[in-house]
Amino acid sequence: DQQVKQNSPSLSVQEGRISILNCDYTNSMFDYFLWYKKYPAEGPTFLISISSIKDKNEDGRFTVFLNKSAKHLSLHIVPSQPGDSAVYFCAASASNTGNQFYFGTGTSLTVIP
Amino acid sequence: GAGVSQSPRYKVAKRGQDVALRCDPISGHVSLFWYQQALGQGPEFLTYFQNEAQLDKSGLPSDRFFAERPEGSVSTLKIQRTQQEDSAVYLCASSENGGTYNEQFFGPGTRLTVL
C-alpha cells in the first residue's frame, strides 16, 4: 500500500513561472519529509526537507509547505528554470519506525524555455 | 569529495543466475540503505545497516535477497536465482549517522535486467 502519493505524473511550466508539485501521505506517524530531484541515469539528490514541527521551509527558489491536518505537502519552485527539469520525488519517514524513507512515484517536471 | 558509488552500473542476467551488486558509501558514513526502484515507481526500501549491523531487512522481497556490510563500509546486495520480476534499478544511499533527520546521499544505481 502506497503511503506516499504523488498523483501528478508530469507537469509542464513556462520558464520564470511558479512550479507547484504536490504530495499526499497516509501515515500520521510521519514526522520528516523530503524532496529529492532526479536526473536520468543518476541517483536522486536531496533538495529540501521539513520536519513536522514546521509548516514551511525555504531555501532560495525552493519552498516546501506542510499541512499536517490534510497530510499534504507541496514544493514550490519560483522562478522555474529549464535546469529544474527533472523527476521530483517526495519522501517521508517516521522517527519511531527506523530510518527508512517512503517515496512517492515521482512527478516529471518540464520547464519550457 | 567522492559521493556514493555503485558497480556495476548495468547488469544483464539470465533467469536463475546469481548477481552481486556493490555499493561504496561516502567515507565515514555510518548508515547505509538499499532501495529497489521499479520502472515508473519511486524507490522502495530494502534494508538498512548501521556500521556492520543490519538493523532492518524488512523490505527484502524474498529469501533470495541477501545484503552484507562486513566491515561497516562497502556493502554488497546479492540476489540468488534471479527472476524477471527482480529487474529494477537498485539504489544505495548513505547518511552520516543513524538519526532519522539525516539526508541520505544516493548513488547512481545499478540497473539490473533479468532475461
Contact yes or no for A75/A89 (Cβ under 8 A): no
What is the predicted pLDDT for the residue at A1? Answer: 72
Low-confidence stretches of chain B (pLDDT beneath 50): none
Which positions of chain A have pLDDT values less than 50? Answer: none
The answer to whether B49 faces chain A, any CB pair under 8 Å, is no
Q: Which phi and psi angles does A9 have, rounded to 5°?
A: -70, -25
Q: What is the pLDDT of residues B5-19, one digit of tens each?
A: 999 999 999 999 999
> Cβ contact (<8 Å) for B106 and A100?
no
Distance from CA of A44 to the nearest CA of B (A): 6
Backbone angles phi, psi at A97, to 5 degrees: -125, 25
| Rounded Cα–Cα distance for residues A93 and A27 (Å) | 9
CA distance B72 to chain A (A): 17
Residue B103 DSSP label: P
Number of H helices and number of E strands within chain A?
0, 11
pLDDT attached to residue B102 = 76
Nearest-Cα residue of chain A relative to residue B101: A32
Question: Cell numbers 528554470 label which residue?
Answer: A81
Count the helix, strand and coil residues of chain B and give each as a percent rounded to the nearest 5.
5, 50, 50
Residue pair B4/B104 in contact by the 8 Å Cβ criterion: no
Residues of A in contact with B91 (CB under 8 A): 43-44
Task: Please answer yes or no on whether B103 and A4 come within 8 Å at the CB atom.
Answer: no
Give pLDDT, residue B1.
54
Report d(CA A78, CA B37) in Å as an integer.
29
Interface size between A and B, measured as CB pairs under 8 A = 65
Is the CB of A105 less than 8 angstroms away from the CB of B42? yes
What pLDDT is stored for residue A14 in this prediction?
Answer: 97
Q: Kindly determine whether residue A93 and residue B44, on different chains, have CB atoms separated by under 8 Å.
A: no
- Beta-ladder partners of B31: B50, B95
CB < 8 Å from A in window 23-42 of B? 31, 33, 35, 40-42
3-state SS assignment for residue B100: coil
Distance, CA of B101 to chain centre: 20
Q: What per-residue confidence (pLDDT) applies to A96?
A: 73
Closest chain A residue to B107, measured at CA: A43
In A15-113, at which residue ranges do the beta strands (DSSP E only) sit? 19-25, 32-38, 45-51, 56-59, 62-67, 72-77, 86-93, 102-103, 107-112
Predicted local confidence at residue A31, as pLDDT: 92
- For the stretch A94-111, pLDDT in tens is 887 667 889 999 999 999
